[in-house]
Structure 1
Amino acid sequence: MGKNKLKKFSDMESMECVFQYPFSVLKEQGFPMKGRWHSDYFHNDNPVILELGCGKGEYTVGLASRFPDKNFIGIDIKGARMWSGACQVRDRKMGNAAFLRTSIELLPYFFAPGEVDEIWITFPDPQMKKVNKRLTGTRFMRLYREVLKDGGRVHLKTDSPFLYTYTGIMARHNSLPLLADTCDLYGNPQGVDDILGIRTFYEQQWLDRGLTIKYISWNLPAQGELSEPEVEIEPDTYRSFSRGELQCPELCNPQVRIKNNDKQ
């Protein structure tokens, strides 16, 4: 491990806005602030909003700056990435932002049922071959239900036509109420201008390359069976890191083939 990473990890150990708990400690002792984020950390009753896979924390910091009447927690397993956002929160003394280093699958260890009001999923790997790893798949919808209030809002921002198309089909198949849906956020915002000013470094790069940013959000009721839609979606040219090929900016809805009778 490089010295730079070690320094970042050392820095974060002393940051009050960063929480890092090994699974062994969680399993044996639990997380002391579970169910107590409002009273013990934020010291208010404002909504708690999570950003999953927060990376460098640019969106967590951007949302917290724009909405001081809400509380934001950026979550990622990569500690060296979130160091940048954590430093901003510390240096700017932002009382409505925090960072949690953990796996998304462990959310119920850190949050009580109904403690979370909203969830943001920003530019995740679309996992085109592995639906169980897809952060907008029904496996994760069930997980989010364990911490999200009834009818809480879930947001997705992505540059992947595949993930955008899949998520829309998944939401409609399971009758999840859609609140916003656009395949070109900056060209056709459809009433979501309050988030247009928040762009990550890589998001701006993709926009400069001609990629369109897709945005979709929906309510997630606490009850109701969830099932995967039986469809095949044309893969796109997404690359996890370099986005090695430029996807066609006009491609908002890839070809979709319904395997069986499916409600959409």
Structure 2
Amino acid sequence: MGKNKLARFAENKILENVYQPTREEAMAGYHLAGKWRERVFKNPNSIVLELGCGKGEYSVGLAEAFPNKNFIGIDIKGARFWYGAKEALGKGLKNVVFLRSQIELVDCFFAKDEIDEIWITFPDPQIKYRRTKHRLTHPTFLDLYRKILKKDGIVHLKTDSEFLHGYTLGILQNSNDEIISTHHDIYGALEYDPNTPLLREIKTYYEGLFSAKGKTITYIKFRLK
């Protein structure tokens, strides 16, 4: 492991906007579940999650654009979201924090109806059949999101994977959930959902790499029932 990565891990331990609970702490009932507004953000505003946040570009970008909302970037790779945590502190953003965890534990960290929206940005599409249950839009994961999302909560999926895009549409079409809008190429489309601001304006590190290779970027906005 490189020295820079070790240094980021070490600094994450002291950054005020980084939370790194153990699996045992999560499974035992995380002490902030149901209390993120009160104890962390100290305001009554809505909470938006970014799952698999990588370097945190979306979490930081949205927090900067929407100061009246709270954002939590979640990823197991702390050396990556260190970049976002440092940027947020440098910009003085008090409405964004980062949580180091596996996504399958997400319901351990939040209470019922505590979350207003979820963003899933460029997750591993887990193309192999034996990895199906690891896709972040697999029905098992959607059921986890239902536990913490408010009624009719919104989920956004932004991906370069046409496979995951199609898979997710199929899952949603076979459920009682509502597909609000879908785009097979957000940059090639003349217009997109005006109620989803910054869909094109905020780009993750991986989005930049994918776009440079000529891959189209797809998007689905849906409501879980």
**Band of TM-score, shorter chain:** over 0.9
Q: Percent identity?
A: 47
AA matched with 1:18: V
3-state SS of paired residue (1:146): helix
Count of paired positions:
220
Structure 2 distance, partners of 1:163, 1:93, is: 36
Alpha-carbon spacing, 1:160–1:27, altered in 2? closer, same or farther (3 Å): closer
* Residue in structure 1 matched with residue 134 of structure 2 by the alignment: 133
Q: Is the 8 A contact 2:26 2:105 kept in 1?
A: no
* Residue in structure 2 matched with residue 10 of structure 1 by the alignment: 10
Structure 1 distance, partners of 2:79, 2:10, is: 10
Structure 2 distance, partners of 1:40, 1:77, is: 23
Structure 2 distance, partners of 1:74, 1:27, is: 20
After TM superposition, the structure 1 = structure 2 runs for residues 31-180 of structure 1, keeping only pairs within 5 Å, are 31-128=30-127, 129=129, 130-180=131-181
What is the Cα deviation at residue 26 of structure 1? 3.1
3-state SS of paired residue (2:197): helix
Alpha-carbon spacing, 1:190–1:26, altered in 2? closer, same or farther (3 Å): closer
Structure 2 distance, partners of 1:82, 1:183, is: 28
AA matched with 2:2: G
Query: Is the deviation greater in 3-12 or in 113-122?
Result: 3-12
**Alignment counterpart, residue 219 of structure 1, candidates 215, 218, 223:** 223
The TM-score normalised by the length of structure 2 is 0.93
AA matched with 2:184: C
What is the Cα deviation at residue 184 of structure 1? 0.7
The TM-score normalised by the length of structure 1 is 0.80
AA matched with 2:120: I
Q: Where in structure 2 are there 5+ consecutive unaligned residues?
A: none
Q: Which has the larger radius of gyration?
A: 1
Structure 1 distance, partners of 2:107, 2:18, is: 18
AA matched with 1:136: T
Does residue 194 of the first structure (1) align with residue 197 of the second (2)?
Answer: yes
What is the Cα deviation at residue 24 of structure 1? 2.2
AA matched with 1:105: E
Where relative contact order (Cα < 8 A, 6+ residues apart) is larger, the structure is 2
The structure richer in helix per residue is 2
Alpha-carbon spacing, 1:111–1:210, altered in 2? closer, same or farther (3 Å): same
AA matched with 1:202: Y
- What is the CA deviation profile of residues 202-245 of structure 1, one whole-angstrom value per residue up to 9, with x for unaligned ones? 21232222211000010001xxxxxxxxxxxxxxxxxxxxxxxx
**Alignment counterpart, residue 212 of structure 2, candidates 200, 208, 213:** 208
* Residue in structure 2 matched with residue 236 of structure 1 by the alignment: none
Structure 2 distance, partners of 1:160, 1:3, is: 33
Structure 1 distance, partners of 2:12, 2:145, is: 27
RMSD between aligned residues: 1.3
